[in-house]
Chain A
Amino acid sequence: MTLPLISLIPALPLAAVALHLLLGDRLGKRGTALLACGAVGAAFLLALRAVFALAARPEADRTLVEIVTTWMRAGDFSVDISFLLDPLSAVMILVVTGVGFLIHVYSIGYMAHDASFRRFFLYLNLFMFAMLTLVLADNFLLMFVGWEGVGLCSYLLIGFWYERPSAAQAGKKAFVVNRIGDFGFLLGMLTLFAFGGTLNFTRLFAVAPHVFAAGGTVITIATLLLFLGATGKSAQIPLYVWLPDAMEGPTPVSALIHAATMVTAGVYMVARCHVLFRLAPVSLEVVAVVGAATALFAATIGLAQNDIKRVLAYSTVSQLGYMFMACGVGAFSAGIFHLMTHSFFKALLFLGAGSVIHALSNEQDLRRMGALSSRLPWTHGTMLVATLAITGLPPLAGFFSKDEILSSAFASGHFGVWLVGVAGAVITAFYMFRLYILCFRGSSRLTHEAEQHLHESRPSMIAPLVVLAVLSAVGGWVGMPFQAGGHAFERWLRPVFEGGPAFAPARELSHGTEWALVAVSVTAGVIGILTALRLYLQSPQTATSLASRYASLRTLLVNKYWIDELLDAAVVRPFGAFSGWLWRFWDVVIVDGTVNAVGYALEGASAVLRLFQTGFVGTYALFLALGVAAMLLHFLRHG
């Protein structure tokens, strides 16, 4: 007997959820942890088995569909519960189950003292089920099941510590914003169904070029609606605001849901629908511009944050922007490549931050950290790898994927987008090293209490960090540039992305240009790093020596001082002020204001409507009569 190849992968976490519910607390903490991690670990092994089976097939035939059951069939409306395994979903399930498993293991230690241990793992398993359904679905309807499912779990996990008002508030915000996105997704889906006649990916993408006029209104609106859904889930302008607040959830949740997997669902969806997006060049431009704008914008905000998790949250928003940027310029495989490498190093950064927070008795403020490198050697080492990876220094993972995005933007003629991307890379390197230095270098600014309890995390938490660090270091090598016929990762995804309508291919860049682009993006990273080192590591020393050796080294010091001031005045202050302003004005006034205003407006309308409900029969009868009168009037005038 052979096991079903695909459907077991999401079924395992679901079965674990059922067992969590049925067995309740009888399992004990150890049993709960074993069940939760075992299910996800087994799902990872099954995913590996499925991907190997897929890879063994000839390249043209790498699409496996597994129909579980007919869901709904009525006339020409037909949907199955069926899963699609192709190179794209293969990448996704490996990332989701692989990184997911590591984070599950990490959570055992992180949540060890939490009273709601079982509830946590129940939600986490439920999330895995929903996320795997999302990426394996072979139609929009099933994808939406996963889409809503991950949203629900995200909401439950953000508000996990619901005793804190801020957590409850953050959950609410995430919920409101995601509903706006869902509205777009649903309408987009219905539009595609109404005009395309099917919700099945394979069938819809096959008929799309015949049904929809390229660049036509219908396909443009449909794809823009889908992209609205993606901006909600993947925290892009204008719907990014919920993600930084989502950091109220436990840190493993931030790593799993709000960095590595769920927030990339929007990117995955856009990549999955690349056939549709290629039919709508306007939508693709929108995707590119929104992605680039978010990449830069969120990075500048990241400069001014002092909460370690908030810096990482804005960084996630910014990196997701890079992925959309890639999709928007038509480099879908580069976007998915960055999705993968990002899930390695960003999960690692969050888990490392979690380890720091854990070690410092729940301290999250960077201003009360410092000099932790020797006290938390493992955390420090792995975090350094991740920080270098995200800044895009070779030969770490982030370098390959970010470089590919930037060179694709350049090659497709989007010079503005490319420039924004490079600027974003400088800032990324700067704020990441600022975080690194404030956390691990310089002088200790720990509170006395935190100093007392300082300890390196237990091995079960360190082990996932080490695995992720290795992945962050070497994970990008599958995308080694300068290979004839494209690199391995691109070749793997090619059967998915080369189908569909003709798309103006990017200009072939000469080797010289490619090298130049690599040089630019590496230089961008280096500039950012050096600036951060100078400002946050050297200037405190500079300041002290300025006081003691005022007379002798005056000129030099003044010079140095002057440079620092210049840097500060020219770069940091404006950006700091700008990002502070952006954060205060845009986030707090405009976005929160709008969200609240919608809420208040609805509540106000609700209160007004309630006034009509006087409780007097006479009023009700009056309304009845008025209703009839209004209808009659309408017909007398128009009928």
Chain B
Amino acid sequence: MSVRMPVLLPVDLWALGAVIALSVGLMVMLLLEWAPVRPGSPRGAILSLLTLAAAAGSVLYVRDVARSLFGGMFVHDGFTVFFTILFCAVAALAVLLSWDYARRTRIGQSEYYMLLLSATLGMILMAASNDLITIFLGLELMSLALYVLVGIRRARLESNEAALKYFLLGAFASGFLLYGIALLYGATGSTNLTRMAEFLAASPLQNNPLLIVGGLLLLTGFAFKIAAVPFHMWTPDAYEGAPTSVTAFMSAGAKAAGFAALLRVVLHALGGVHANWAPMLSAIAMLTMTVGNVTALLQINLKRMLAYSSIAHAGYLLVAVVAGGHEGASAALFYLAVYSVMNLGAFGVLTLLGRGQEERVTLSDVAGLGFRHPLLGVTLTVFMLSLGGIPPTAGFMAKVYLFGVALKAGWIPLVIVGVLNSVVSVFYYLRVTVAMYMEEPALEPVGISWAAPGVIALMVCLALTLWWGVQAHALLALALRSVQGLM
């Protein structure tokens, strides 16, 4: 009689806890639609927060365990834990920011939060996957939810347009990605990242055209998601058209998810052929930083400006990927955590601007804001300084560490371009501050929709931006620990 091993150990259930919790949570929310609530009820938001807390708690409970599940398709390691917590935190902050924003802009409540959770689930799958197929599944789950979220303000033309563009181009990019996966499968005989790495280590065929073209197409797919130049064109339109709370969510979450998958593929599976892709990625990084920052200079609409800024930040992050190794990867993780917090904060302030359905997010709308609402002004200033990399904020520490690592790895021109870019970027970030403190509003001053959940989210972002600026080493140590199993 053969002994049947259980498919999953209890510890595995905990490791899968995030996936299970989110799946259950969003189904419960769907089922609860049978019991309709009055519009504006916080039920969806509260359920989402509980689900996210359960997801994060479950993964944290087994944070020191390393498991490989489902035939090596799903791995639970420090990297997965780091990103799961990051995505849950980003989603939770986005829920808090949406709490009042979704109500006042009349966004359908239940499907909104359900889609938010689906996207989060997709992100977690992307970070936890050790197989190109599951990465693709996660990416599509995330993207489909985001396409709908971008267009969820059905009555707004801009929202519709943004969603359609995002969808069409996203589908296009997915095609590239899938084709790349097929070619890589042909070249290495596997879609599993670990087996691909083993194959490449043993293979003399590292310059196999199939491998190179496949890798490039895969890279294109990821570059689209992280908004790297020249695959960034959808970003400003989608970010501007989407509801601000959704923009906040996707600018942090989707970008981090794209980088999570990119890091795993590039550093784990393709780590052996570093010399093949590093120069290419370095060129993309330079282009991304420069185009993002230079285009941001003239933007009047803050959502659009922050969209270009997020493109530029993708460029800085690519510098860390190019630098590679444990240090490069840890710099990327550190930067992603910091970027998520400060970017959510910046967009978060924008969700408070304007009353009812109005959207007041231009430079002239924030004119004089610093004097009328001093605390809000200081908050937005801190986020802007941090995005610009000015000490003593977290953004500065993240940039210093990132560029330091890249310089150590010998990428001198890349670092020079990077530092030049961060110098240029301060112009447009500080323009916001100048508008707040040195200009008077031309139109009627913007009204502020104060709401406790949004303010709490902003306070969390503000505290972390400042705390990591003066106490960075705990986060950095965590980032270094999290990438130990990656290579």
The answer to the question of B438 belonging to the interface, with a C-beta cut-off of 8 Å to chain A, is yes
277-334 of chain B: CB within 8 A of chain A: 280, 291, 294-298, 327, 330
584-627 of chain A: CB within 8 A of chain B: 602-603, 605-607, 609-610, 612-613, 615, 617, 619-621, 623-624, 626-627
Residues on A with C-beta less than 8 A from B439 are 162
Interface contact B217-A77, CB-CB below 8 Å = no
Given contacts A72-B397, A190-B419, A620-B233, contact A603 B390 (CB under 8 A): no
Residues on B with C-beta less than 8 A from A194 are 404, 407-408
Residues on B with C-beta less than 8 A from A141 are 391, 400
Interface contact A77-B419, CB-CB below 8 Å = no
Q: Choose the segment among A87-95, A454-462, A628-636 that binds chain B (4+ C-beta atoms closer than 8 Å).
A: A628-636
Whole-angstrom CA separation of A193 from B229 in the bound complex:
30
Option from A148, A182, A603, A615 in Cβ contact (under 8 Å) with B298: A603
169-190 of chain B: CB within 8 A of chain A: 169, 172-173, 176
Whole-angstrom CA separation of A536 from B267 in the bound complex:
75
Interface contact B423-A620, CB-CB below 8 Å = no
Whole-angstrom CA separation of A533 from B236 in the bound complex:
66
435-473 of chain B: CB within 8 A of chain A: 437-439, 470-473
Given contacts A72-B472, A194-B408, A628-B176, contact A639 B297 (CB under 8 A): no
Interface contact B233-A619, CB-CB below 8 Å = yes
189-221 of chain B: CB within 8 A of chain A: 207, 209, 212-213, 216-217, 219-220
Interface contact B415-A631, CB-CB below 8 Å = no
Proximity bits, A187-224, B CB within 8 Å = 1, else 0: 10011011000000000000000000000000000000
Option from A21, A77, A162, A609 in Cβ contact (under 8 Å) with B294: A609
Whole-angstrom CA separation of A182 from B176 in the bound complex:
42
Proximity bits, A58-83, B CB within 8 Å = 1, else 0: 00000000000111111101000100
A91 to chain B, nearest CB (A): 25
A22 to chain B, nearest CB (A): 10
B319 to chain A, nearest CB (A): 12
Interface size class of A (residues with CB under 8 A): 35 or more
Interface contact B480-A74, CB-CB below 8 Å = yes
CB closest chain-B residue, reference A70: B473
Whole-angstrom CA separation of A73 from B330 in the bound complex:
13
CB closest chain-A residue, reference B375: A21
Interface contact A162-B438, CB-CB below 8 Å = yes
Whole-angstrom CA separation of A519 from B220 in the bound complex:
74
Residue of B172, B176, B415, B438 ringed by the most chain A CB atoms within 10 A: B438
Interface contact B476-A74, CB-CB below 8 Å = yes
The answer to the question of A175 belonging to the interface, with a C-beta cut-off of 8 Å to chain B, is yes
Interface contact A626-B230, CB-CB below 8 Å = yes
Whole-angstrom CA separation of A75 from B172 in the bound complex:
42
CB closest chain-B residue, reference A160: B438
Residue of B230, B374, B401, B430 ringed by the most chain A CB atoms within 10 A: B230
18-38 of chain A: CB within 8 A of chain B: 21, 24
Interface contact B423-A179, CB-CB below 8 Å = yes
Interface contact B212-A639, CB-CB below 8 Å = yes
CB closest chain-B residue, reference A186: B419
B414 to chain A, nearest CB (A): 12
Residues on A with C-beta less than 8 A from B473 are 70-74
Given contacts A72-B473, A620-B169, contact A193 B216 (CB under 8 A): no
Residues on A with C-beta less than 8 A from B295 are 606, 609-610, 613
Residues on B with C-beta less than 8 A from A149 are 391
Interface contact A145-B391, CB-CB below 8 Å = yes
Interface contact B165-A620, CB-CB below 8 Å = yes
CB closest chain-A residue, reference B161: A615
Residue of B416, B420, B423, B480 ringed by the most chain A CB atoms within 10 A: B423
Interface contact B216-A635, CB-CB below 8 Å = yes
B417 to chain A, nearest CB (A): 11
Residues on B with C-beta less than 8 A from A639 are 207, 209, 212, 276
107-146 of chain B: CB within 8 A of chain A: none
The answer to the question of B40 belonging to the interface, with a C-beta cut-off of 8 Å to chain A, is no
The answer to the question of B20 belonging to the interface, with a C-beta cut-off of 8 Å to chain A, is no
Interface contact B230-A73, CB-CB below 8 Å = no
Whole-angstrom CA separation of A620 from B227 in the bound complex:
12
A307 to chain B, nearest CB (A): 24
Interface contact B280-A631, CB-CB below 8 Å = yes
The answer to the question of B147 belonging to the interface, with a C-beta cut-off of 8 Å to chain A, is no
Interface contact B236-A609, CB-CB below 8 Å = no
Given contacts A73-B473, A191-B407, contact A179 B426 (CB under 8 A): yes
Whole-angstrom CA separation of A634 from B291 in the bound complex:
20
Option from B390, B427, B434, B438 in Cβ contact (under 8 Å) with A148: B390
Proximity bits, B374-405, A CB within 8 Å = 1, else 0: 10001000000000001110000100110110
Interface contact B374-A21, CB-CB below 8 Å = yes
Interface contact B169-A602, CB-CB below 8 Å = no
Residues on B with C-beta less than 8 A from A615 are 237
Interface size of B by CB at 8 A reads 67
A10 to chain B, nearest CB (A): 12
Whole-angstrom CA separation of A627 from B231 in the bound complex:
7
B326 to chain A, nearest CB (A): 9
A131 to chain B, nearest CB (A): 14
Interface contact A602-B424, CB-CB below 8 Å = yes
B220 to chain A, nearest CB (A): 5
A32 to chain B, nearest CB (A): 15
Residues on B with C-beta less than 8 A from A624 are 169, 172-173, 176, 220, 224, 230-231, 233
Interface contact A617-B276, CB-CB below 8 Å = no
The answer to the question of A561 belonging to the interface, with a C-beta cut-off of 8 Å to chain B, is no
The answer to the question of A152 belonging to the interface, with a C-beta cut-off of 8 Å to chain B, is yes
The answer to the question of A117 belonging to the interface, with a C-beta cut-off of 8 Å to chain B, is no
Interface contact A74-B477, CB-CB below 8 Å = yes
Interface contact B216-A148, CB-CB below 8 Å = no
Interface contact A175-B403, CB-CB below 8 Å = no
Residues on B with C-beta less than 8 A from A528 are none
Interface contact B294-A606, CB-CB below 8 Å = yes
The answer to the question of A168 belonging to the interface, with a C-beta cut-off of 8 Å to chain B, is yes
The answer to the question of B27 belonging to the interface, with a C-beta cut-off of 8 Å to chain A, is no
Interface contact A620-B234, CB-CB below 8 Å = yes
Interface contact A74-B438, CB-CB below 8 Å = no
The answer to the question of A159 belonging to the interface, with a C-beta cut-off of 8 Å to chain B, is yes
Proximity bits, A147-187, B CB within 8 Å = 1, else 0: 01100100010010010000010000001000110110011
Interface contact B233-A631, CB-CB below 8 Å = no
Given contacts A179-B426, A190-B419, contact A72 B476 (CB under 8 A): yes
The answer to the question of A144 belonging to the interface, with a C-beta cut-off of 8 Å to chain B, is yes
The answer to the question of B168 belonging to the interface, with a C-beta cut-off of 8 Å to chain A, is yes
Interface contact A603-B297, CB-CB below 8 Å = yes
Interface contact B477-A73, CB-CB below 8 Å = yes
Residues on A with C-beta less than 8 A from B291 are 609
Residues on A with C-beta less than 8 A from B472 are 71-72
Residues on A with C-beta less than 8 A from B233 are 612-613, 619-620, 623-624
CB closest chain-A residue, reference B408: A194
Given contacts A148-B391, A603-B298, A605-B294, contact A628 B217 (CB under 8 A): yes
Whole-angstrom CA separation of A152 from B212 in the bound complex:
48
Interface contact A621-B430, CB-CB below 8 Å = no
Residues on B with C-beta less than 8 A from A619 are 233
Whole-angstrom CA separation of A226 from B225 in the bound complex:
38
Residues on A with C-beta less than 8 A from B294 are 602, 605-606, 609
Interface contact B470-A69, CB-CB below 8 Å = yes
Given contacts A71-B471, A74-B480, A639-B207, contact A606 B220 (CB under 8 A): no
Complex A-B: 30 CB contacts under 8 Å: A21-B374, A69-B470, A70-B473, A71-B472, A72-B397, A72-B473, A73-B477, A74-B401, A81-B470, A159-B434, A162-B437, A175-B430, A179-B423, A179-B424, A179-B426, A180-B423, A182-B423, A194-B408, A602-B424, A610-B295, A613-B233, A613-B295, A620-B233, A623-B231, A624-B169, A624-B230, A624-B231, A624-B233, A627-B220, A627-B223
* Residues of chain A having any CB pair with chain B under 8 Å: 21, 24, 69-75, 77, 81, 141, 144-145, 148-149, 152, 156, 159, 162, 168, 175, 179-180, 182-183, 186-187, 190-191, 193-194, 602-603, 605-607, 609-610, 612-613, 615, 617, 619-621, 623-624, 626-628, 630-632, 634-635, 639
